[in-house]
Copies of this chain bind each other. A is one copy, B any other.
Amino acid sequence: MRTRNPLVAPELREMLASGDSQALRHFCESVHPASAAELVSALSGEEAWGVLRHTDMSLRAEIFSHLDRDFQVEIIEILHRGAIARLLAEMSADDRADLFKHLPEELRESVLPAMAHVEREDIRRLVAYEEGTAGAVMTSDYATLSPELTASQAIEHLREVAPDAETIYYAYVIDGQRRLLGFVSLKDLILARRGARISDIMHGEAIFARVQDDQEDAARKIRKYDLIALPVVNDDDVLMGIITHDDAMDIITQEHTEDMEKFMAIAGSHEDAVYMRSSAWRHFKNRSIWVFVLALFGLVSGYIIQSFEGMLLQLVILTTFIPMLADTGGNTGSQSATLVVRALALKEVSPRDFRRVLAKEFQVAILLALMLGVVAFGRVLLFGAGSTVPEGVSLGMIAMAVSVALGVQVVVATLVGALMPLLVSKLNRDPAVIASPALTTIVDITGLLIFFATVKLMLGI
């Protein structure tokens, strides 16, 4: 992600202007690549590359990998074919494939022929997986071992592959067809007798993801089992790649942002839209869809009010309760929806728990309804004193009707809020699509109907 750091940018610009390549190299080497990336992000694409150019290829690629993707593309577009190919060659397999996917079509086609055969094939293989799957986020830079090796041979092998592997702390044991047999950790290898066979010390438990699995499920496995990396296999159990713990953390964070945005009725995927780098027009597009649809739905509540114009004319005081009724329904409904959406996301409940969740929400709703009913009753008595009421209707009766309506509305809104994510989840869709604003609009409609029906029934107007 790109944050401006106003303190370092001018100094870097000065070094660039004076062509002080030693100072620039020293800058790149003296801070962590993630920090260097953050600092050069304050510069233009051309300037940033001007800084990175002064360090060696491998560090350059590492800093570059920490830039946010839009900025990476911006830089790539000012480089020539050969430089792009060399940079991509140095990047880790997953970062490279991810960047490649987001390059403009013509650039992709011109760069591929400039790359070595192995890397070209590696990119082709990785970009083939659908966005959002485990295959699309895995890397092919992993270490494998054959089961016949001894512990000391395995350590020797890991030492050799270490410079190219994303991690050597887990090594995957495969057979002649590259089918996954298990894994050993470097800790296991160090603790084992030098002559111990890999097949004897490896963990054979099947914790893995399939290439087509949801990336979030894969990340969740890494979290659940406290893994450093998770192997990803195809349908024939052939090892295709690994997902590392740091990528899992990024996936979890990104999915959370997307869930929250979805839940607040904002379209678009967060990955493509870092806040400040998105244009106002893009923000508008992401936000306007739902707002527009919900405004149209607002027609329904308007229509309901219009149909009860006569009642409102007789008893204008009723109008003053409409906002409280709408808000309270929206609030209680959104609360239960939030809790159920998160509980589903964390696998604390599953759609199978349908009845238990509804039973729990019903109890909570009754308590909330009682509390809010009392508030509404008091409110009518306190503030309705000056109002004109039609003959045969007392303020106490109005207070009773408003309380009952609010209570019923709270129960309905809470249950609807809990029910909708459960239903969506049952259909194997992400429960966060139950946007809180949509829910609010729905319970507005139920609220008005409940309100007018209750008043009609209890006051006979």
Q: Is the CB of A302 within 8 A of B330?
A: no
Q: Is the CB of B162 within 8 A of A291?
A: no
Among B155, B263, B323, B357, the residue within 8 A (CB) of A448 is B323
For A360, what are the chain B residues with a Cβ–Cβ distance below 8 Å?
276, 280, 283
Among B292, B350, B364, the residue within 8 A (CB) of A287 is B364
Among B159, B250, B302, B320, the residue within 8 A (CB) of A191 is B159
Among B283, B326, B340, B343, the residue within 8 A (CB) of A327 is B326
The answer to whether A23 has its CB under 8 Å from any CB of chain B is no
* Chain B, residue nearest A158 (CB): B190
Q: Is the CB of A364 within 8 A of B280?
A: yes
For A224, what are the chain B residues with a Cβ–Cβ distance below 8 Å?
34
The answer to whether A130 has its CB under 8 Å from any CB of chain B is no
Give the complex CA separation of A260 and B266 in angstroms. Answer: 15
Contact A437:B205 (CB < 8 A) given known A158-B190, A187-B168, A302-B324? no
For A441, what are the chain B residues with a Cβ–Cβ distance below 8 Å?
327
Q: Is the CB of A266 within 8 A of B321?
A: no
Contact A32:B187 (CB < 8 A) given known A328-B295, A367-B281? no
Q: Is the CB of B190 within 8 A of A169?
A: no
Residues A82-122 near B (CB distance < 8 A)? none
Q: Is the CB of A287 within 8 A of B332?
A: yes
* Chain B, residue nearest A155 (CB): B190
What are 18 A-B pairs at a CB distance below 8 A?
A: A223-B246, A227-B246, A252-B253, A260-B342, A261-B342, A264-B334, A264-B436, A266-B339, A275-B343, A280-B364, A280-B367, A287-B364, A288-B371, A298-B324, A303-B383, A312-B319, A327-B441, A436-B436
Residues A324-359 near B (CB distance < 8 A)? 324, 326-328, 330-332, 334-335, 338-340, 342-343, 346-350, 353, 356-357
Q: Is the CB of A276 within 8 A of B353?
A: yes
The answer to whether A15 has its CB under 8 Å from any CB of chain B is no
Give the complex CA separation of A34 and B205 in angstroms. Answer: 12
Q: Is the CB of A245 within 8 A of B228?
A: yes
- Write the nearest CB–CB distance from A68 to chain B, whole angstroms: 9
Main secondary structure of the interface of A (DSSP, over half): helix
Q: Is the CB of A330 within 8 A of B330?
A: yes
The answer to whether A375 has its CB under 8 Å from any CB of chain B is yes
For A57, what are the chain B residues with a Cβ–Cβ distance below 8 Å?
none
- Write the nearest CB–CB distance from A325 to chain B, whole angstroms: 9
For A367, what are the chain B residues with a Cβ–Cβ distance below 8 Å?
280-281, 284, 288
Among B252, B302, B342, B376, the residue within 8 A (CB) of A323 is B302
For A225, what are the chain B residues with a Cβ–Cβ distance below 8 Å?
32, 34
- Write the nearest CB–CB distance from A299 to chain B, whole angstroms: 6
The answer to whether A197 has its CB under 8 Å from any CB of chain B is no
Residues A1-25 near B (CB distance < 8 A)? 1-3
For A342, what are the chain B residues with a Cβ–Cβ distance below 8 Å?
257, 260-261, 270, 275
Chain A interface (Cβ < 8 Å from any Cβ of B): 1-3, 31-32, 34, 155, 158-159, 162-163, 168-169, 186-187, 190-191, 205, 207, 222-228, 245-246, 248-250, 252-253, 256-257, 259-261, 263-266, 270, 274-276, 280-281, 283-284, 287-288, 290-292, 294-296, 298-299, 301-303, 305-306, 309, 312-313, 316-317, 319-324, 326-328, 330-332, 334-335, 338-340, 342-343, 346-350, 353, 356-357, 360, 363-364, 367-368, 371-372, 375-376, 379, 383, 387, 436-437, 440-441, 444, 448
* Chain B, residue nearest A203 (CB): B32
Give the complex CA separation of A61 and B298 in angstroms. Answer: 56
For A228, what are the chain B residues with a Cβ–Cβ distance below 8 Å?
169, 228, 245
- Write the nearest CB–CB distance from A144 to chain B, whole angstroms: 17
Q: Is the CB of A334 within 8 A of B249?
A: no
For A317, what are the chain B residues with a Cβ–Cβ distance below 8 Å?
306
For A226, what are the chain B residues with a Cβ–Cβ distance below 8 Å?
34, 246
- Write the nearest CB–CB distance from A448 to chain B, whole angstroms: 7
For A261, what are the chain B residues with a Cβ–Cβ distance below 8 Å?
338-339, 342
Q: Is the CB of A265 within 8 A of B347?
A: no
For A339, what are the chain B residues with a Cβ–Cβ distance below 8 Å?
261, 266, 275, 283
